[in-house]
Amino acid sequence: MSHQNTLEYAREMDAKDPLRKFRDAFHFPNFHEKEVVYFTGNSLGLQPKSTQSYIQEELDAWAKYGVEGHFMAKKPWFSYHEFLTEKAAKVVGAKPEEVVITHSLTTNLHLLMVSFYRPTGNRTKILCEAKAFPSDAYALESQVKFHGLDIEKDLIEVAPREGEHLIREEDILSAIEEAGDTLAMVMIGGVNYYTGQLFDMKKITEAGHAVGATVGFDLAHAAGNINLKLHDWGMDFAAWCGYKYLNSSPGGVSGMFVHERHANRPDLPRFAGWWGYDKETRFQMEPGFKPMYGAEGWQLSNAPVLGMAAHLASLDIFDEAGMDRIGAKRDVLTAYLEHVIDDISERNADRCTFEIVTPRDITKRGAQLSILAHGQGKALFDALTEQGVIADWREPNVIRIAPAPLYNSFEDCYRFGQCLEAAIQ
Ligand SMILES: *Cc1c(COP(=O)(O)O)cnc(C)c1O
């Protein structure tokens, strides 16, 4: 398809977009007097207009029933998380028993690593990507120290090669092979938050398993973005947050995936709480922890219902739109944005100081483009903000933009280009 950087063409593409009606299902910020170009759905997704009524329903039930809302609310709070499970499982390509919505992302990563990072004997190492998201880096570091091990020796970071921005998958695979039987766990971001690079999770999982390690992924930038098939890819565990592409409120609830093969593993060490206890006998409050079957066995606490209600509002939209259609639009929309940026970059070659570092190959990325700004990076970003673009600046020199297929339009991409061109001039 040959795209054109014109308003007319962008509007034609919008008119043909089968998901165009969903734009109207979201609140768009307009604190710049005019409506902004919102390209930060990878950081905080926009608020669905339906969210308020989902939360209001629970506030009303609380007002009306008090504690009895646990059983008498239209969606009883006692099992509120169950209303989300199937829809969330569809978004990530898992069986419902493999998924639970609970806690926050970093909490979930720790809870899962307590079970799946079990250094023993010579097998002590964790393999991760260099420049992982800071929270993940701290989580991994503290897990290694928690076991009395040494991060210099036991944390292997795979970095891009000298002079390159992306990590070569072959380097991850060979590092796994090289670590061999010293490798306890592989833990990588499925989509790198900084570059937008998508990794082949199936291949990495197979490589980790081949040397006897467990394999987990942080899917913060993949859930609701990439067409995931967690069950088929076979990873041991994964976690993601609900507030990026999944639009489920700031700091909103997170998802956990534990592969079916671990569903009935009371032998796995875990940090337990009452909500992970066998549901039928939970309130007999017997001593001795009996975990629930599947991912639910990793829950600690009863559901934070207001946050869950926000997540449910968004999952209902995902359910209606469907990940297949979302993925199809994602690829065309991101390619169009890329075309617009390339066009501007070519026409302003004399003063242009930026490049796209996200993979050009659409099978190696999702809905994010990371623009590496040489020299005047922050100035370019500030000028974009001035023009009404909400993008994301990451030190030292990357502007991240994410056209979210559910609510961003081709016209947004065209408008972004206009702002970019004004900013560099
Ligand atoms: C957004 C993000 C987080 C945030 O974790 P919280 O516990 O929700 O604050 C962690 N890891 C990655 C990779 C992220 O992108």
Q: Which atom of ligand 1 has the smallest separation from the CA of 136?
A: 11
Task: Tell me: pLDDT of 352 over 90.
Answer: no
Q: Which residue has the higher pLDDT, 133 or 285?
A: 133
Helices 7-15 & 410-424, crossing angle to 10 degrees? 160
- Give the pLDDT confidence of 202-245 residue by residue, as tens digits: 999 999 999 999 999 999 999 999 999 999 999 999 999 999 99
Question: Domain 7-48+323-424 is of which CATH architecture?
Answer: Alpha-Beta Complex (3.90)
Q: Which atom of ligand 1 has the smallest separation from the CA of 108?
A: 7
Ligand 1 site, residue 405, Cβ cutoff 6 A? no
Ligand 1 site, residue 106, Cβ cutoff 6 A? yes
Ligand 1 site, residue 173, Cβ cutoff 6 A? no
Domain residue ranges of the chain, discontinuous segments joined by +? 7-48+323-424, 80-321
- Are 7-48+323-424 and 80-321 equal in CATH topology? no
> Contact 255/223 with Cβ under 8 angstroms?
yes
Q: Which atom of ligand 1 has the smallest separation from the CA of 244?
A: 1
**CA geometry: angle 262, 307, 52, nearest 5 deg:** 140
- Give the end-to-end CA distance of the chain in Å, rounded to a whole number: 29
d(CA 213, CA 253): 28
d(CA 386, CA 397): 18
User: What does the block give as tokens for 54?
Assistant: 């989902």
Task: Tell me: pLDDT of 375 over 90.
Answer: no
Ligand 1 site, residue 103, Cβ cutoff 6 A? no
d(CA 75, CA 107): 26
Of the ranges 106-115, 254-263, 286-295, 344-353, which one carries the lowest mean pLDDT score?
344-353
d(CA 191, CA 367): 10
Q: Which atom of ligand 1 has the smallest separation from the CA of 109?
A: 7
Ligand 1 site, residue 140, Cβ cutoff 6 A? no
Ligand 1 site, residue 252, Cβ cutoff 6 A? no
- Give the pLDDT confidence of 252-287 residue by residue, as tens digits: 999 999 999 999 999 999 999 999 998 888 878 788
* β-strand partners of 237: 216, 258
**How close is the Cα of 251 to the center of ligand 1, in Å?**
9
CA 206 to centroid of chain Cα atoms: 22
> Contact 245/275 with Cβ under 8 angstroms?
no
**How close is the Cα of 106 to the center of ligand 1, in Å?**
6
Rg, the chain, Cα only:
22
Q: CATH for 80-321, among 3.40.50.2000, 3.40.640.10, 3.40.50.300, 3.30.565.10?
A: 3.40.640.10
Q: Which atom of ligand 1 has the smallest separation from the CA of 107?
A: 7
Ligand 1 site, residue 133, Cβ cutoff 6 A? yes
Measured by CA distance, the residue closest to atom 1 of ligand 1 is 220
Predicted confidence at residue 151, as pLDDT, reads 96
- Give the pLDDT confidence of 354-373 residue by residue, as tens digits: 899 999 999 999 999 999 98
User: What does the block give as tokens for 24?
Assistant: 């109207």
- Give the pLDDT confidence of 163-201 residue by residue, as tens digits: 999 999 999 999 999 999 999 999 999 999 999 999 999
Residue to probe by mutation, ligand 1, list 42, 43, 104, 105, most atoms within 8 Å of CB: 105
User: What does the block give as tokens for 49?
Assistant: 């207009």
Mean pLDDT of 34-48: 94
Specify the 3-state DSSP secondary structure of 225.
coil
Q: Which residue has the higher pLDDT, 378 or 66?
A: 66
Predicted confidence at residue 1, as pLDDT, reads 61
d(CA 231, CA 237): 10
Ligand 1 site, residue 189, Cβ cutoff 6 A? yes
Task: Tell me: pLDDT of 107 over 80.
Answer: yes
Long-range contacts of 167-174 (CB under 8 A, 24+ apart): 167/129, 167/130, 167/192, 167/197, 167/199, 169/199, 169/200, 169/203, 169/204, 172/127, 172/129, 172/199, 172/204, 172/207, 173/203, 173/204, 173/207
Q: Which one, of 77, 40, 88, 26, lies nearest residue 306 by Cα?
A: 77
Predicted confidence at residue 149, as pLDDT, reads 98
Task: Tell me: pLDDT of 323 over 90.
Answer: yes
Mean pLDDT of 393-399: 89
Q: Which atom of ligand 1 has the smallest separation from the CA of 251?
A: 8
Task: Tell me: pLDDT of 325 over 80.
Answer: yes
Q: What CA–CA distances, in Å, run from 153 to 80, 124, 129?
A: 43, 9, 15
- Give the pLDDT confidence of 69-83 residue by residue, as tens digits: 999 999 999 999 999
Q: What CA–CA distances, in Å, run from 253 to 56, 171, 238, 239?
A: 18, 34, 14, 11
User: What does the block give as tokens for 185?
Assistant: 């766990």
Global confidence as pTM? 0.96
Mean pLDDT of 311-335: 98
Ligand 1 site, residue 105, Cβ cutoff 6 A? yes
Mean pLDDT of 382-411: 94
Ligand 1 site, residue 241, Cβ cutoff 6 A? yes
Measured by CA distance, the residue closest to atom 13 of ligand 1 is 133
Ligand 1 site, residue 240, Cβ cutoff 6 A? no
Mean pLDDT of 92-99: 98
Ligand 1 site, residue 42, Cβ cutoff 6 A? no
The amino acid at residue 114 is V
The amino acid at residue 293 is Y
Task: Tell me: pLDDT of 33 over 80.
Answer: no
